[in-house]
Structure 1
Amino acid sequence: MAGKILTGRPENIPEHEWRFRHLCVIRDEAIGACAASDFRQCDQVPGRVIQYLVLERRPLVRTDGTAADDAQGRPTVVAPGLLPGQPAAPWGRADQGCFDITPLNPPPSPAEVFSYFERLPLPQLTTQHQPPGNGLTGLPVIFYTDSPTTQTFTVDIRGFSVVIEATAEQFTWHTGDATGQIVTTDPGRPYPDQTIEHAYRSGTYTAYLTVTWGATFSVDGSAEADVPGTTTTDGPPVTFDVLQARPVLTNPYD
């Protein structure tokens, strides 16, 4: 992790450039592996980000061609040809310990969480219909879905553990005929407690379900907040026939 602090115009150059680094990164560069001791714990404060890090610095060339002492307090010899603002010496360790880095790595914003929410593998809800085979004119087709309408995801956003609770908020039933769509806020139920019905003329139809998902999120166990936006998924299509029922006279004595 690097937190680079370098601001100002050439006539207002800071004395040093600073950065934070993890012990594991430093050891990995040196020997190609980390150690368990690299992962040191710090006392946490609600709403803050506190990590055990190494603070490094290196001097920058001043406007007069000189530079401040290096991280070990040794005089810096500026190599010929370096311009003001350029590094005059390698990085050196200035301090290490538990640092509050909240300003350098703020918690994910609602908009940032929404960008992750849009890419989650949300369920594609299947369309169930009754009767399960062919339908009959004059007998409405019942629609419902028995797929899960909630799902929980845990994602890592810049080192923060973000829990996203997705909920199906709206169901758009594409009926496959000229009447278009049925929009509901419930997933429907099968017979005899059905809530979604549609009457068809005879023919072959393909229906499917579009679900609008909303969500809440929490960051590292914080209070839940609303994700500012929704996303949709389309379920697999289902094709069925609706037949015309015709009365047939029969001879009861045959």
Structure 2
Amino acid sequence: MFSVSCGDDPTDQLANAGDPNAAADATLCQAGDQCAATTVNADQQPILTLTVRRNADGTWQPIGTSCVPPARPQVTAALVRDRVVRLIPSAAVGLAPHGATLVNIETVMWVDAGDRQTLAPVEILGRRVVITLKLDHVDWRFGDGRSDRTGDAGRRYREHADPCTTRECPDYFGHTYQRPGRVHVNATASWTARFTVDGGAPVTIPGTVAGPTAQAGITIKQARGVLVPNPGEH
């Protein structure tokens, strides 16, 4: 319970109320017959307002106090961004052919990620936060010194429904290697993110958030033609 002790001037009144700036606040009170000062806690959050009035004999009398409920902790975009960085799942790299490919033909590539996803709800500062991601772009490094950026995840290769029968595959994203060897393909998906706090209005996190880089190894081989006599005979 809070109690106010009477004093001869507002400095005493405010000091007894726990005002750490009692002297300064009391000076402001001298300009009139009534004023109010707000007490703050160690985090500089207002917790109490004290109102004092000047009596006819020049003394001061407290005439009211009101508690100020502490403000609810604010979940900021920066706080959520820090959490998103740790929560974004890796988007695995898909390759076709898988494991081994040939020089001078396109190797089809994609990342195993949907255009949108909602992460499991998390608690930040005691509040329920729901984060929704939208794929913004994918940065590719092909392992041969070349790189590219795509605005989507790429199409998963469908060998039976939509096979590629030419050197280039116009319906798919991919890369053509010029030399044989063993390389690692790296893909980093970046996302735009929005979040809600306790079911409130969505808030957008500025910029994009990069997820974990995924990697897949592939061997590039050199194919050579061989003349076979009477190829129609078995």
What TM-score do you get using the length of structure 1 for normalisation? 0.57
| Alignment correspondent of 2:220 | 242
Preserved contact between residue 208 and residue 234 of structure 1 (Cα < 8 Å) = no
In 1, Cα distance between equivalents of 2:212 and 2:38: 55
- Change in Cα spacing, 1:117 to 1:199, as seen in structure 2 (3 Å) is same
Aligned equivalent of 1:198: 175
Aligned-residue offset at 1:7? 4.3
Partner-residue secondary structure (3-state), 1:138: coil
> How far apart are 1:112 and its partner, in Å?
3.3
Structure 2 Cα separation of the partners of residues 185 and 153 of structure 1? 25
Offset of residue 145 of structure 1: 2.0
Q: Deviations over 1:81-134 (max 9, x none)?
A: xxxxxxxxxxxxx999xx854xx225323333333333x321111111001131
SS in 1 for 2:79: helix
In the alignment, structure 2 segments of 5+ residues that lack a partner are 1-17, 27-35, 42-46, 49-60, 164-170
**Alignment partner of 1:140 is 2:106:** yes
User: What one-letter code is carried by the residue in structure 2 that aligns with 1:162?
Assistant: V
Structure 1 contact 160–219 (Cα < 8 Å) conserved: yes
Tell me which residue corresponds to 2:96: 130
2:5 corresponding residue in structure 1:
none
> Partners of 2:203 and 2:24 in 1: how far apart?
45
CA distance in 2, matches of 1:223, 1:231: 21
Deviation track 1:137-195 (CA, whole Å, cap 9, x = no partner) reads: 221000012245523232222222111112321111211112x2121111111143743
Paired AA for residue 77 in structure 2: P
What RMSD in Å do the two structures reach over aligned CA positions?
3.3
Aligned twin of 1:151: 118
Please identify the structure whose Cα radius of gyration is greater.
Answer: 2
Q: Which has the higher strand share?
A: 2
Q: In 2 relative to 1, CA 200–6 (structure 1 residues): closer, same or farther, beyond 3 Å?
A: farther
Which letter maps to 1:154? Answer: P
* Matched residue count: 175
Aligned runs of 1:33-72 on 2, under 5 Å? Answer: none
C-alpha distance 18-157 of structure 1, shift in aligned 2 (>3 A): same
SS of the equivalent of 2:214 reads coil
Indicate which of 76, 87, 102 corresponds to 1:121. 87
* Cα contact 1:114–1:229 (8 A) shared by 2: no
Q: Provide closer, same or farther for how the CA distance between residues 229 and 16 of structure 1 changes in structure 2, counting only shifts above 3 A.
A: closer
1:105 aligns with 2:72: yes
- Equivalent in 125, 128, 144 of residue 161 of structure 1: 128
1:8 aligns with 2:21: yes
Does structure 2 retain, via aligned residues, the 8 Å contact 1:210–1:232? Answer: yes
Percent of aligned pairs with the same residue?
A: 23
